[in-house]
Amino acid sequence: MPLKARWMTCLSAALTLSASSAFATEKLLVVADEWPPFSGATLPNMGISLDVTQAVLVRAGYQVELAILPWTRVVSGAKSGEYDIITSLFLDTEFEKSLTYSDPFFTTEVKFVRKAGSDIVFDGLDSLKPYVIAVGTGFLYEPEFDSATYLNKFEVTTAIQGVRMVAAGRVDLTLDSTDVIRHAIQSEAPQLIDQVELFGPPLATPEIHMAVSKTRTDHEEIAAAFNAALVEMKADGSLDALLQKHTQN
């Protein structure tokens, strides 16, 4: 091989190796809001969603950095592309404009909470018209409920605040993921266990996803790699084992 050709071949190989190395060392910034047990700064491995998202991305060959941020920053960052990946997300048509969603990795139920012994029933949104309902500021529950301006909604900042208001009789109802409600009562207000109750059919049975910012040119590639690794982890049992650590209690 001529010296020039050999030099060009070596240069090409070096550049390829350098590019591969740069890709391998890039860290994807994955963020979520404080939403126990799915995400939280003080939870084991920062919660179900962050633990699963990190494990799947690592299986797919990526390095990951995790952060918990206020919901308002998560929303603005989703739109601006400030963060690579957002996790702990329900499917949302507005977010789909700026994010490429992965396949789901967890399913939960959104249910209403009433005072123990109450005769309130949930039989469609119209049945809720007589009641005051505590809802989280900016929270997404179910599209029709979220847009129902005819319902009497009282804004709170956390799920447990709504539960406490129900127990105290200050509002009639609140709602959230059943996993969130149970975790909030158990960890923050166990004295309320016998004072409130989840009831009725689910308002929704949403799936939980991670999603990649469309400002990244490789957003579809990352989502596809995540989905492929997720399939592998479901098949070999490692996903179930990971979820079991968070849900066994």
Give pLDDT tens digits for 157-191. 999 999 999 999 999 999 999 999 999 999 999 99
CB burial string 101-125: b at 16+ within 10 A, e below: bbbebbebbbbbbbbeebeeebeee
Domain spanning 110-204: CATH 1.10.520.10: no
Architecture of domain 23-107+207-247: 3-Layer(aba) Sandwich (3.40)
The two domains 23-107+207-247 and 110-204 share their CATH topology (first three levels equal): yes
Amino acid at residue number 130: P
At 91-133, the pLDDT tens digits run 988 899 999 999 999 999 999 999 999 999 999 999 999 999 9
Record the tokens describing residue 69, joined without a space.
């941020």
User: Which residues does residue 32 pair with via DSSP β-bridges, in sequence order?
Assistant: 68
Helices first, then strands: H and E counts in the chain:
8, 11
Q: Which residues contact 146 (CB under 8 A, 6 or more apart)?
A: 140
The pTM of the whole model exceeds 0.75 = yes
Asked if residues 102 and 209 have their Cβ atoms less than 8 Å apart, the reply is yes
Which pLDDT tens digit goes with each residue over 24-34? 457 999 999 99
User: Residue ranges per domain, the chain?
Assistant: 23-107+207-247, 110-204
